[in-house]
Amino acid sequence: MGVAPDRAPGRLIGRLPHGHDHHGQRWHLHVPRSDEPAAAVRPLLIALGLPTFGLAFAISVLTTYGPVVLIRLTNSPSQVGALIGAEGAFALVVPLLSGALSDRLPGSPAMRRLPFIAVGTPLIVAGLVLLPFSGSIALAAVCVLAFFVGYYTYYPPYRALYADLLPQRWYARAQASQAVQRGAGLGVALLVGGLLLPVWRPLPFAIAAAAMVATTAALAPVLRLDNDCGNPVLPYETVSLRRLLLGDGQLRVVAAANTLWEFSFSGLKSFIVLYVVRGLGHSPSVASAVIAVVAVAYVVGAPLAGRLADSYGIVRVMRVSAVVYGAGLVSAVLAHTLTPLLIGLPFIALAGAIVLTLPQALAFTLAPPGSAGAAAGLLDFSRGIGVVLGPIVVGGAIELFRGQFTSTHGYAAMWPVIGIPVLASVLLLRSLEPRSAAAAAAS
């Protein structure tokens, strides 16, 4: 059986019956061809992206409002921080295993990915629902452990479905769509938690668990696509995790660059509020407004990233955006008041949103056929390194340079520490452009 010209090896071709007819009947979910218009692929992107909303909602509720529960069980903020910060530790191990194993199971793409989604969902839900009822820090720690194990068991195989079901030319647009869902999940989680936590502490956690179940259930039609298509599955070569890590230098470069981006973003998230409140002397409400500007830029930047990548290529767009993002972060060290920061922040955040939207699309583009799950796990592994190191290094820099940045009580030191790694990633991206361009031309 030969490989169809509009699909990479190991992917599916075909559509569900009763698609779009000449009378304008609406499109049904189907596995798209690379030459189909955006309107035909949009229903699949929406359905495929719904679990991203549930996952973002769930992890945002746990990491943002979980400390409110934990601090009542222990008087140690460092213990609370260690429990919530365990995300980075789990991201170093679980995604590599779940992603690589999901590539190696027999059967269709859905059958390879579904067991990990089925195992991860109840662990996520149990961790969320039981955490606010925990009577001891030990039980709370078990709930957090269950949540993160479930989250990282679920996430890489789920993300690999994008590579299983979409032509390569849709990778960037699909990741942009997923980024919008992620931003929406974060925003709704912050809103729901802020409003409902005072009403009844377990309520935001229960709603997040319900959202997780609902969005996972909504994935069922997508998981049936490959079985409903008339054409059989094309040959699908499994690639071992060892071969992927040791034999594919391009993917190692993507992982290294992603570590730098996540290092920067994690450091920014951890200290932006303290920079505004303690460094510049403004109220927490002003800090919330600054974060809102970043959130809006993220929602705008995600779909823009997909369109730019379609027009100019993923690597080229990421290189330019990384230069703007990194240079903007470094230059913020010169600001001593909030006004110049507010002027430049939307542009910096927009470039940052583009950089953070496209790594998965780039990894799928470069990964060998049959290794989408391992590639997704590798990116989560690299993210875990950044999540662990970012706050530690930035916090240490603030302490170290407190005497040099007296006008901001040392907090201005965060900007070059998070900006220079982004600029360094541009050098790594240079080595990827020839191969990624060739892959795009072949898709």
111: nearest Cα among 150, 153, 164: 164
Q: How many domains does the chain have?
A: 2
pLDDT in tens, 24-35: 444 466 777 666
* Angle (CA) 238 242 243, round 5°: 60
Expressed in percent and rounded to 5, the helix, strand and coil fractions of the chain are 75, 0, 20
Task: Tell me: do 295 and 425 sit in the same domain.
Answer: yes
**Residue 442 domain flag:** no
Conformation bin of residue 14: beta by default, left when phi > 0, alpha when psi is -120 to 50? left
Q: What is the pLDDT of residue 34?
A: 66
What pLDDT, on the 0 to 100 scale, is given for residue 1? 31
pLDDT of residue 433: 60
By residue range, what is the domain housing residue 398?
241-434
Confirm whether 21 is domain-assigned.
no
Instruction: For residue range 254-282, list pLDDT tens digits in order.
Output: 999 999 998 998 888 767 777 887 888 88
| Ranges of the chain whose pLDDT falls below 70 | 1-29, 33-35, 38, 76-78, 81, 85, 107, 109, 225-248, 270, 284, 288, 370, 433-443
| 253 plus 288 within the same structural domain | yes
| Residue 29 pLDDT | 67
* pLDDT at position 190: 73
State residue 130's pLDDT score. 96
Residues 202 and 316 in one domain: no
Same domain, 199 and 269: no
* Residue entry with tokens 């579904």: 114
**pLDDT confidence of residue 81:** 64
- Residue 31 has phi, psi (to 5 degrees) of -80, 115
Q: What is the pLDDT of residues 101-127, one digit of tens each?
A: 887 777 676 778 889 999 999 999 999
**Main-chain phi, psi angles of 86, to 5 degrees:** -65, -15
Residue 170 CB partners (closer than 8 Å, separation 6+): 32, 34, 41, 45
Phi, psi of 367 (to 5 degrees): -70, 145
What is the pLDDT, as a whole number, of residue 24? Answer: 40
Length of the chain: 443
Give DSSP secondary structure letters for 387-409: HHHHHHHHHHHHHHTTTT-GGGT
Percentage above 90 pLDDT, the chain: 23
Q: Would residue 29 count as lying in a domain?
A: no
Residue 236's pLDDT is what? 46
CATH of the domain at 344: 1.20.1250.20
CA distance 29 to 44: 5
With respect to residue 372, please indicate whether it lies within any of the assigned structural domains: yes
Shared domain check, 72 and 170 = yes
The pLDDT value recorded for residue 10 is 37
Structure tokens that stand for 68 in this block: 């409110």
- The confidence score (pLDDT) of residue 119 equals 94
